[in-house]
Structure 1
Amino acid sequence: MEFLNKLLYVPISELPFYLVTLLIAFTVHEFSHAYFAYRFGDPTAKMLGRVTLNPTVHFDFFGIVLLLIAGFGWARPVPVNRDNFDKPRLMGIIVSVAGPLSNLLLAVLGSVIYAALLQFGAVSPFMVEDKLQQAIHIFFSTFIVMNFFLCLFNLIPLPPLDGYRIVEDLVPRRMLGILHRFEQWSILVFLIILVVPTFRLYTIVPLYGAANALAEHFLIFFRVLFGA
């Protein structure tokens, strides 16, 4: 048990809550990409069975393991063929932003539910010694923060993240060649940010901090709203 605690980025006692959170967050994220791509006329994801909320078709085992061990990971990306869209650039942006937006909505929904439970006395922060109460607190804290984090993280404008795909569709066409020329180096920069501790300290760590701050502010806002 001690070995696992040292190996995992996530405390082993909280592992089930992270797994459930990722099960929901990654599934909804990838489904959102697939759904909008299909609605805009691209059948690629549909033919591959990706327009579904079945988590087994979206999960990447290695990506999940790495997330639990190193603090970053991924699901199976949804293939999108923008040539099938009537308005490739506009619809491409919507398809790309659908994933991070879905995580934002999940975080807000989690905040609403958690704030309601706290404000109306269904759970209490003063009863954390109760196993059920403790589980509820850990789950919602994990769910809200992780979804805020995934929203922010996926908007980083580096490949293979959604933020990069959004930039691709926003920049003038004459700049696409330049963008694609530096894509391989951008991927290297992305990997360095994730792997090198010094770079993580100024990138990933602040993102987690921002996610925690958003979680706290949204929770306060909804508790005040319900108490009004």
Structure 2
Amino acid sequence: METLIPTIAIWALPVLLAITLHEAAHGYVARHFGDPTADQAGRITLNPFKHIDPVGTVLVPIGILTLTTLFGAGGILFGWAKPVPVNFGRLRNPKADMLWVAAAGPFMNLIMALGWALVFKFASSSPETAYTLPMERMAEAGMTINAVLLFLNLLPLPPLDGGRIAVSLLPGKLAWQFARIEPYGFPILLILLFTGVLGAILWPLIAMFRFSLATVFGFYG
């Protein structure tokens, strides 16, 4: 318990920002391409309380952190917010614009990962104080959770963003057939998670991404 509380405190802000800004980005881009649904629902906002899902934003990440901290168990740290409502039929070019709306979330996670990398670089190169180590650990958490959400959401599985991107890019008939997977997407994702397949797919990508950040920002040398 003594290590769990500081761990949750360090991860709370990065997880909250990663999940909520991901969703807000979808709404912003949807509005740009003609669908005001998210805007009318008050979901294009930096207010995290508009996006928090009690299970996906709070219970699931805390549960994974608890397992990892106390028992050395647990899988990939991930979570979700309340999905931003998007009416793809109201987009000016529904099939083509769907790509940009879907890609907005992962792109926001990429931007946040780069931002946390800058924070880590600043903290690691600053004179040591009582704040530098917590700042480094929070930046580490920020890079990790955003890398996870970036690559997780780019998996070509509806209703993940990568699945919607695939639907946008596929020819009409194939796109319609592929989109029919969506009701089964979340159960498939859970099976991949609990069988370890999801980790086997994502961890190499995350490791390469983290190595790239370290190289570009010069963390370790």
Using the aligned pairs only, state the percent identity.
Answer: 32
Measure, in 2, the Cα distance between the counterparts of 1:168 and 1:93.
Answer: 8
Structure 1 equivalent of residue 168 of structure 2 = 169
Structure 2 equivalent of residue 23 of structure 1 = 16
Q: For residues 71-91 of structure 1, what are the alpha-carbon distances to aligned partners after superposition, in whole Å with 9 as ceiling and x for unaligned?
A: 332111111111212221221
Structure 1 equivalent of residue 157 of structure 2 = 158
Is residue 48 of structure 1 aligned with residue 48 of structure 2? no
Structure 2 equivalent of residue 122 of structure 1 = 126
Q: 77, 83, 87: which one pairs with 2:89?
A: 83
Count of matched residue pairs? 207
Flag as ranges the 4+ runs of structure 1 deviating above 6 A.
none
Unaligned segments of structure 2, at least 5 residues: 65-76
Measure, in 1, the Cα distance between the counterparts of 2:200 and 2:134.
Answer: 25
Q: For residues 54-80 of structure 1, what are the alpha-carbon distances to aligned partners after superposition, in whole Å with 9 as ceiling and x for unaligned?
A: 110011011121122133321111111
Structure 2 equivalent of residue 104 of structure 1 = 110
Is residue 68 of structure 1 aligned with residue 62 of structure 2? yes
Q: TM-score with structure 1 length normalisation? A: 0.81
Q: 51, 55, 58: which one pairs with 1:58?
A: 51
Contact 1:159 1:190 in 2 (8 A): no
Question: Relative to structure 1, is the Cα distance of residues 141 and 163 closer, same or farther in structure 2, using a 3 angstrom cutoff?
Answer: same
Q: Which residue identity is paired with 1:179?
A: F
Q: 195, 199, 205: which one pairs with 1:204?
A: 199
Q: Which residue identity is paired with 2:32?
A: R
RMSD (CA atoms) = 2.3
Measure, in 1, the Cα distance between the counterparts of 2:39 and 2:209.
Answer: 34
Shift of 1:174: 1.1
Measure, in 2, the Cα distance between the counterparts of 1:34 and 1:23.
Answer: 17
- Larger radius of gyration, structure 1 or 2? 1
Q: Which residue identity is paired with 1:223?
A: G
Is residue 92 of structure 1 aligned with residue 118 of structure 2? no
Unaligned segments of structure 1, at least 5 residues: 6-10, 125-129
